[in-house]
Amino acid sequence: MREPRIKYELVGDFWSIPVFECEECYGSMGEWVKYDDRFICPKCAFKMGIISDKEYIKLDVDRFYQDDARAIVLNGEIYVALGKEKFPWEMTNRDYRHSKKYQEWRSKVFERDNFTCQECGKVGGSLNAHHIKTFKDYPSLRFDVSNGITLCEKCHKELHKRLRKNGNKKGS
């Protein structure tokens, strides 16, 4: 019986782990699925519909999360939701604003602006990371640091008041 081709071996002091080459995408794989006399990685097998989401998760997702993980293929991409995570299309604006990615974005905006309100110059206190182009209308810019500005709470409220008065809702 033919074996999968070893691409390289990971070697430690007392162990060696073979890493194989997928015969579909030519990527590296530790686990494989045999299909039509070919050895393919779990990602390719899942994308091709050869294995189920549960089989894919068992072969390719961190073992700590396997019981709670969900996986789906959409437009040729694999999406995995771990634990109580939601898939991107399931998330609301509120979910995004409470996500780790959003918290990291805020921190980066604050750090870039030296924790200083860019309107009045106040340092520290109750700061807001304001989206220059709205969070709701520009989803591709939600986590772009250049689309953020640090404002103190007072200046942030004043900015939104001016925007509403002018009938312009740009910025969130």
The 10s digit of each residue's pLDDT in 52-100 is 998 999 888 766 667 788 899 998 999 988 878 888 888 888 888 888 8
User: Are β-strands 127-131 and 77-81 bridged in parallel, bridged antiparallel, or unpaired?
Assistant: unpaired
CA–CA separation, 132 and 109 (whole Å): 12
CA–CA separation, 127 and 110 (whole Å): 8
The band of 14, judged by pLDDT with boundaries at 50, 70 and 90, is confident
- Looking at per-residue pLDDT, the higher value among 95 and 11 belongs to 95
Which sequence spans correspond to the domains of the chain?
6-88, 91-165
